[in-house]
Amino acid sequence: MRNSYLFTSESVSEGHPDKVADQISDAIVDLFLSKDPEARVACETLTTTQRVVLAGEIRGNGIMNNQGEWEDGVQQEIEDAVRQTVKEIGYEQDGFHWETLTFENHLHGQSAEIAQGVDAGEDKDEGAGDQGIMFGYATDETPDLMPATLDYSHKILERLAADRKSGVAPFLEPDSKSQVTLRYVDGKPVECTALVVSTQHAPDYYYYKGEGDETKYAELRDHVLTVAREVMPDGFVTDATTIHVNPTGRFEIGGPDGDAGVTGRKIIVDTYGGASPHGGGAFSGKDPTKVDRSAAYITRYLAKNVVAAGLAKRCTIQLSYAIGIAEPLSVYVDLHGTAANGVDEAKLEAVLPKLVRLTPRGIREHLGLNAPIYKPSAAYGHFGRTPDGQHFPWEKTDLVDQLKAAMA
C-alpha cells in the first residue's frame, strides 16, 4: 500500500437529472412490489425539459394480466407515483414542474423467454435474472465502513438538500454535485486537499470574477463551506484546501431542464466512488431477482460484516452469475493485504456461501428484499446508509459473531 496519495470521489444530489430518473424508477419498483412481492420490474426513466418517459418490462399480480393489459387504476397510480417523486425532490420550476410536466408510460409485459429462465419450476430453483459480475466493498476508514471521499461527498449534498427543504437555505435549488479529494497517509484520510460543490441556486446568487460583491454569492459559498466543515472531521478543511463553489459562475438552469437524465447513469456514485471495482450493472428500476441489484447488495453485506468483525481493514467480494442459473459461478475475496493474523481469503471464500445461500432466492429471503424499500436508496448512495428495520437491510452487521466463529 502506498504511504501517501490523493484520492477523489464525487456525488450528485437527488435533484440531479440522472438521480431524478433513478428515484422515479425505484418508486415504480416500490409501487409494484407493494402489490405483488414477486413482481418482475425493469423500469427505465428518461427525464428532460417538462417531460418524464417510462419504458421497460413488468409482470405481477394486480398490475398487468396475462394478456398484457393493465389492471384497473394501475396506470393512474404509476403517474401519481412519478409526480409525487418529482414533487418530493422539490421541482416546481418552469422547465420542470411536478404538476405540469408531460408524462408518458411505455412499460409493457415481460418477455416470456426471460421469464422461463428466471422463474422457479418443479425441477429448478429460481434463476438469476441476467448474467454478470457484482462487487461489494467495505473499508474501516469511516464509521459507515465506506470510502471517506464518497461518504463525505454524499453527506454534504444530503445536508444541503435538508437545509433547502427546511428553509434554512432557501437560495438553494434541487440540482447539485460535489467532489471531495482527500490525502491519505498509511491508508487513512488525514486532510481535504480539494473540495468542489456546484449547486443550482436562486437568481442573484451567481458569481463572476470582479462582480461577487454585487450578488449574494458569498452567502451561498459560506453556507456550503459551513456544511462541508461540519460533515468532515475537524481540521480536514483548512486554508490550504483548494475550494471551488459554483466555479462556472452561474447555475440557475438545472435538473432535467438543464440536462436530460436517464436511469442507471450514476453507478459509481451509487456504490463506492471508484474505490472498488464495479460490475457495470445499475440498480435502480430493477426488482430483486435481478442479480445486478440483489447480488451487489449481498456482496456489500458480506464485505461489511468481514470488516466489522475485525477480519480485515478492507474487503472486496465478487460474485458472478449466468442468466437462468441459480448458484453463483464464482466467489472471490480480496482483503488487500489488510487481513488480521490467521485470516485466509480462500477460507473466507468457502465460509461465506455457508452463512448465506447466494442464489437469487437465498439472497432475497436472507435480506428481505421482496418489499417496497428501494426509493430511499436511489439518492445519496445505496451503501453506507443506516438500516432502520425496513430500509437498507444489506447494511446490517448481524453476521459478525458467525464470521468470527467460522474463522477462528
Report the percentage of the chain scoring pLDDT > 90: 87
Residues 10, 26, 44, 334: which is the catalytic one? 44
16 is in an annotated binding site: yes
282 is in an annotated binding site: yes
More confident residue, 9 or 123: 9
Under the banding of pLDDT at 50, 70 and 90, the label for residue 323 is confident
Q: Is the confidence at residue 237, as pLDDT, over 60? A: yes
Q: Is the confidence at residue 4, as pLDDT, over 70? A: yes
**What pLDDT is recorded for position 112?**
64
Known catalytic residue at 141? no
87 is in an annotated binding site: no
Known catalytic residue at 292? yes
175 is in an annotated binding site: yes
Residues 171, 236, 251, 383: which is the catalytic one? 251
Under the banding of pLDDT at 50, 70 and 90, the label for residue 337 is very high
H or E element: which one contains 105? Answer: strand 102-109
**What pLDDT is recorded for position 126?**
75
Under the banding of pLDDT at 50, 70 and 90, the label for residue 297 is very high
- Give the range among 109-123, 176-190, 230-244, 261-275 with minimum mean pLDDT: 109-123
Q: Is the confidence at residue 305, as pLDDT, over 80? A: yes
Known catalytic residue at 103? no
**What pLDDT is recorded for position 280?**
87
Q: Give every CB contact of residue 49 below 8 A, 6+ residues apart in sequence.
A: 95, 96, 256, 257
The answer to whether domain 4-11+150-253 and domain 132-139+265-407 are alike in fold is yes
Known catalytic residue at 265? yes
**Does the domain made of 4-11+150-253 have the CATH classification 3.30.300.10?**
yes
**What pLDDT is recorded for position 405?**
96
Residues 40, 164, 290, 304: which is the catalytic one? 290
Residue type present at position 356: V
312 is in an annotated binding site: no
Residues 115, 194, 202, 260: which is the catalytic one? 260
Known catalytic residue at 188? no
**Helix or strand or coil: residue 42?**
strand
230 is in an annotated binding site: no
Known catalytic residue at 165? no
Average of pLDDT values for 238-245? Answer: 97
Q: Is the confidence at residue 118, as pLDDT, over 90? A: no
Residues 88, 259, 327, 345: which is the catalytic one? 259
**Does the domain made of 17-118 have the CATH classification 2.60.220.30?**
no
Rounded Cα distance between 116 and 172, Å, is 49
Q: Is the confidence at residue 399, as pLDDT, over 60? A: yes
What digits encode the pLDDT tens for the residues 66-107? 888 999 999 999 999 999 999 999 999 999 999 999 999 999
- DSSP-derived letter for residue 286 is B
18 is in an annotated binding site: yes
Q: Give every CB contact of residue 373 below 8 A, 6+ residues apart in sequence.
A: 30, 390, 391, 392, 393
Residues 10, 18, 144, 151: which is the catalytic one? 18
Under the banding of pLDDT at 50, 70 and 90, the label for residue 343 is very high
- DSSP-derived letter for residue 87 is H
259 is in an annotated binding site: yes
Residues 22, 173, 292, 395: which is the catalytic one? 292
**Does the domain made of 132-139+265-407 have the CATH classification 3.90.950.10?**
no
Average of pLDDT values for 181-203? Answer: 96
Q: Is the confidence at residue 152, as pLDDT, over 60? A: yes
Taking the CA atoms of residue 187, residue 189, residue 195 and residue 196 in that order, the dihedral angle to the nearest 10 degrees is 50
Rounded Cα distance between 172 and 163, Å, is 8
Known catalytic residue at 16? yes
**What pLDDT is recorded for position 324?**
85
Known catalytic residue at 209? no
Known catalytic residue at 290? yes
**What pLDDT is recorded for position 293?**
96
What residues form DSSP beta bridges with 180? 9, 195
110 is in an annotated binding site: yes
Known catalytic residue at 396? no
Domain boundaries, the chain: 4-11+150-253, 17-118, 132-139+265-407
**What pLDDT is recorded for position 3?**
80
Residues 7, 10, 14, 16: which is the catalytic one? 16
**What pLDDT is recorded for position 106?**
97
201 is in an annotated binding site: no
